[in-house]
Amino acid sequence: MGGFLSFVKKETLHIVRDPRTMLIALLMPVVQILLFGFAISTEVNNVNVAVVAPRPSETIRQIAMRIGASSYLTFKGFIPASDIDRTLRAGDADAVVVFADDYDRRTADPASKPDGKPAVQLIMDASNTNTAAAGAGYLRQLLTNPEAFKAAPETRLLFNPQMKSAYNFVPGIMGLIFILICAILTSVSIVREKETGTMEVLLVSPVRPLRIILAKMIPYFTLSCLNLASILLLARYVLDVPMSGSVAGIVGMSLLYLALALALGLFISTIADTQVTALIISAILMLIPLIMLSGMVFPIENMPGILQAVSCIIPARWYIDAIRKLMIEGLPFADVLDDFFILAAMTAALIGVALKKFNDKLE
Amino acid sequence: MESEPIIRVRELSKRFGDFTAVDRITFDVARGEIFGFLGANGAGKTTAMRMLCGLSYPTSGSGTVAGFDIAREGELIKRHIGYMSQRFSLYDDLTVMENIRLYGGIYGLSRREILRRTAALLERLDFRAERHTRVGRLPLGWKQKLSFSVATLHRPQVVFLDEPTGGVDPVTRRQFWELIYEAAAEGTTLFVTTHYMDEAEYCSRVSIMVDGQIRALGAPAELKRHYGARTMDEVFRMLAREAKRTE
Amino acid sequence: MERAITAEGLTKRYGSLTALDSVSFAVERGELFGLIGPDGAGKSTLFRLLTTLLAPDAGHAEVDGFDTVKDYRAIRRRVGYMPGRFSLYPDLSVEENLDFFAALFGVRVRDNYDLIAPIYRQIEPFRTRRAGRLSGGMKQKLALCCALIHRPSVLFLDEPTTGVDAVSRNEFWEMLDDLRQRGITTLVSTPYMDEAERCDRIALINTARILGIDSPKGIVARFDEPLYALSGERMYDLLLAARQSPGIRECYTFGETHHLIAEGGFDPVAFLRSLDEKGFQRVALHPIRAGIEDVFMKLMHHGE
């Protein structure tokens, strides 16, 4: 067993002595969480709204005040109707609310409909569809007078009532980081030994190849566990993710995902002969599909059917889905059992294939 | 010597921090000479050669190669010399013709001139039948000859050869040296580094570097006489053993 | 007593390329056996077959009495292997490298220190230095220590002297000679013909085939044609002139002289006279004994 421990020690030294690896492994998760949590935000915050009102009545003034009071909207003032186009074009406003001159009268008597012209009109700058859609939504809610329209639906946002996008990103980042550290760093470190020729010496030794690989994985596994802990702590205490579900479930799911990532790393190392190849394979085979198709960035439900089908073979899809349910929706572990079993089956298959390929190489 | 030396080096030094890689070396190489540049690993050969090829600035001292100043006219030097090493060689995935055309283009030869010289080169090497073969499929010896011919395609006055024959079989090695002799007979100057001491005997003159300095310089026969040695190998070992540097 | 290495009809193909073509040889216990040949001759493939990293397509081999395919595990416990490039970890120190390789074979450094001591002492002053910052010669010594640390019964060294200067090469062969005196069997490969003489026996190998196996003396004794050394001024012109003279089968450069293989009916006196007429001065010609390189080239031509 002494051989095994010295292996782990040697592997740890490799990591500790390479500042780049250390930086990637330890700093990246923190930076990503903070970056996605604070700097990059997909929620729409500052929709600039100008108002056109030929006869600014009391009601209209109140609406303008409500626009100004909203944290999502900014009131940019009243403009004449002739300036609508120029204001939008110049980017001074993202939306213009145009009130008809008989707005008050028509809202007071919803039955009246004299000339078919609307009482109020929203003109949106749709060059950024996200801003346009969200802004229109906010404004529609604000303009919908509950007294006048008793039947207007009320929207309640569950699970993420403030629509904080950082929440949605935490599971995605976890899905990405564990693949990066476990799969990519492990495969690169195995392939590096092939490149320098040390792998041959290791193989011509009494230590079984499987042990060599296992010893290589342990430090990266440990590193990933550290990252898991730091991500969970950051999510809970810095981003205020409630973690209302089972924390043990999150950890268990993540450990399974780590095993899968390690097997993936081993698999890549059997098909790549140089570190550069390993990196390219990792990027093309894993990172791009992971980012594009796992639901981390683009919702799977909105993809064309064929891409939805492809996304089914991406492990991160199932992992991210499960973590979302556990972490954000606060569902019990029983509700992610399907994700769990799919991931477990993938892990078993990958370990099998990777080990077979690894042994075949040795003949 | 009847003409200006083609390579002229005076008190040339290169320091990296407090480490003196090349320590005030001075020598001349005459036109048409085969100059052997020997030294143990870490003696400073590579650094000195990089300065002569215009790839690295000297810390102090001066030198000219083919009439150009190594400190100020590096770009001109690169255009007027040929360079071949074991590592920098031909592109395996291009054919013989494509490689020749590529290098001709790099050295700014006209299309007509490239075609003319390619034909002459293929003729001389007896490569006509292989001109559309990918270089990766050629035997090592062929590759080497092609590599040398490509490095001299633009008719440089000086050719730098950095360990051109490592690991090659004895027959191919000799064929290669005959190419070198032939080029020298045509007036090209050859500046060669090698680990094979028998190849040192083929040189008109050799220099031996130890710890960044040139410790011996002369024709092989002179050096052997001076050190009372039978072979260049003995001379080299006597000198290199005095090295204090461990890198 | 059984032999340290036997190989019979070993063949290895990579696709359409035959890397090793029916190679047979045997190494006795305690022998320093050299495998001499250029790059691409098949030396490294042969090492990989014998060290159980590859399985042969045909033929079979035994190392220390164990079959390289069936008993590969037993072989891996017994042999020391130093592949072409110095296989060390550049980011680990000298000491850490040695400790690691000891642990790999389940031994402690101090148990086998006596074996590596003469070599290790030379690099011990640098034991905390990272291996990547050692000179070529020192890396070579450290790699040898690492290959020896478990007291292997057979040592496989694949081109240990390539890319190392003449002084370090010479020191390295002195170390191998020392190991031989302590009973270690060594199979070593090299592209340098001049190193052949340091071996007990050698196999000349070229283009996947063994050209000949014998002691260095026995190999050169196979050269049965009259051989002369020719020297003078204007060596290149002299070479061309000699090739055109009658009675000369071959003339090639050989360090400071040219070697000249004569055919029946070669008349040295007439030859020298003709050179004199062509204006060559201070020409010297004397019969010499062939070296390993002469034999290698002759055998290469035979093969073609």
Domains of chain A, CATH where assigned: 2-40+164-362 (no CATH), 47-143 (3.40.1710.10)
**C239 inside 8 A of chain B by CB:** yes
Entry field: residues in chain A: 363
DSSP string computed for C250-281: EEEEETTEEEEEEPTT--HHHHHHHHHHTT--
What residues contact residue A158 under an 8 Å CB cut-off, 6+ apart?
Answer: none
CB within 8 Å of chain A, chain C residues 59-118: 73, 76-77, 79, 81-92, 96, 99-101, 103-106
Calpha distance C102→C121 (Å, rounded): 17
Burial class (CB in 10 A: 0-12, 13-18, 19+), C243: middle
Residues C256, A42: Cα–Cα separation, whole Å:
78
Could you report the per-residue pLDDT of A258-282, keeping only the tens digit for each? Answer: 999 998 998 898 888 888 888 888 8
How buried is B168 (Cβ within 10 angstroms: 0-12 exposed, 13-18 middle, 19+ buried)?
Answer: buried
Task: Count Cβ atoms below 10 Å from residue A229 Cβ, excluding itself.
Answer: 11
Spacing of C-alpha A159 from chain mean position? 16
Answer yes or no: is pLDDT of A149 > 50: no
Q: A115-119, C34-38, C178-182, C255-259: lowest mean pLDDT where?
A: A115-119
Q: C156-190 burial string, b = 16+ CB within 10 Å, else e?
A: bbbbbbbbbbbbbbbbbbebbeebbeeebbbbbbb
User: Tell me, what's the pLDDT at C162?
Assistant: 83
- Give yes or no for A274 touching C (CB within 8 A): no
Q: For the segment C30-69, what is each residue's pLDDT rounded down to a tens digit?
A: 999 999 998 888 999 999 999 999 999 999 999 999 999 9
Q: Are C50 and C76 in contact (CB under 8 A)?
A: no
Best to test chain C binding among A15, A201, A275 (most C CBs inside 10 Å): A201
Checking if the pLDDT of A198 tops 80, the result is: yes
Residue B120 lies in a domain: no
Q: Which residue has tokens 């939504």?
A: A137
- Judge whether C104 and C147 are in contact, CB under 8 Å: no
How many domains are there within chain B?
Answer: 1
Nearest to C144 by CA among C106, C103, C101, C194: C101
| Whether C284 contacts C209, CB under 8 Å | no
Name the residue with tokens 């020690």: A9
Binned at pLDDT 50, 70 and 90, residue B126 comes out as confident
SS3 C86: coil
Contacts with B185 from chain C: Cβ below 8 Å: 236-237
Flag whether pLDDT at B142 surpasses 70: yes
**B110 within some domain:** no
**Residue in C with minimal Cα distance to B178:** C236
Cβ–Cβ contact A104 with C under 8 A: no
pLDDT at A208 over 90: no
The contacts of residue A173 (CB under 8 Å, 6+ apart) are A29, A32, A33, A36, A231, A296
Q: Judge whether C196 and C292 are in contact, CB under 8 Å.
A: yes
CATH of the domain at B217: 3.40.50.300
Q: Tell me which of B116 and A115 has the higher pLDDT.
A: B116
Residue A150 has a pLDDT of: 40
Output the six-digit token pair for C72. 């590969």
For residue B199, give how far its alpha carbon lies from the nearest alpha carbon of chain C (Å).
6
Q: What is the DSSP-derived secondary structure letter of residue A210?
A: H
B113 inside domain: no
| Percentage, residues of chain B above pLDDT 90 | 39
Across chain B, the runs of DSSP E, i.e. the strands, are 7-16, 19-29, 34-39, 60-65, 68-69, 81-85, 158-162, 189-193, 205-210, 213-218
Average pLDDT over residues B213-237: 92
Q: What is each CA distance from B60 to A54, B76, C286, in whole angstroms?
A: 82, 20, 49
For an interface test with B, give the residue of C195, C253, C297, C300 to mutate (most B CBs within 10 A).
C253
- pLDDT for the residue numbered A2: 59
- State the SS3 of C126-185: HCCCEHHHCCHHHHHHHHHHHHHCCCCCEEEECCCCCCCCHHHHHHHHHHHHHHHHCCCE
* B167 inside domain: yes
Q: Which domain holds residue B166?
A: 7-88+158-240
Indicate whether B131 belongs to any domain: no
Q: What percentage of chain B exceeds 70 in pLDDT? A: 96
Between A3 and C242, the more confident residue is: C242
Q: Identify whether B100 is part of a domain.
A: no
User: According to the model, what pLDDT value does residue B93 have?
Assistant: 86
Residue B88 above 60 pLDDT?
A: no
Mean pLDDT of A165-185: 81
Cβ-based burial of B217 (10 A; exposed 0-12, middle 13-18, buried ≥19):
middle
Predicted confidence (pLDDT) per residue in C76-109, tens digit: 999 999 987 778 999 999 999 999 999 989 899 9
Question: Is A49 within 8 Å of A93 (Cβ atoms)?
Answer: yes
Domain assignment present for residue B221? The answer is yes
A340: which 2 tokens? 């769990």
Q: DSSP code of A118?
A: -
SS3 C291: coil
Cβ proximity of C276 and C221 under 8 Å: no
- pLDDT > 50? residue A363: no
* pLDDT above 70 for A44: no
Q: Is residue B206 part of a domain?
A: yes
Quote the minimal CA–CA distance from B75 to chain C in Å: 30
Residue B41 has pLDDT above 50, yes or no: yes
> How many residues are given for chain C?
304
CB C33 within 8 A of CB C26: no
- Per-residue pLDDT at A360: 59
ipTM of the complex: 0.79
CA pair distance A236, A240, nearest whole angstrom: 5
* CB contacts, 8 Å: A189 with chain C: none
Of A211-215, B69-73, B175-179, the least confident:
A211-215
Angstrom distance (rounded) from CA A32 to CA A177: 9
Query: Is the confidence at residue B35, as pLDDT, over 90?
Result: yes
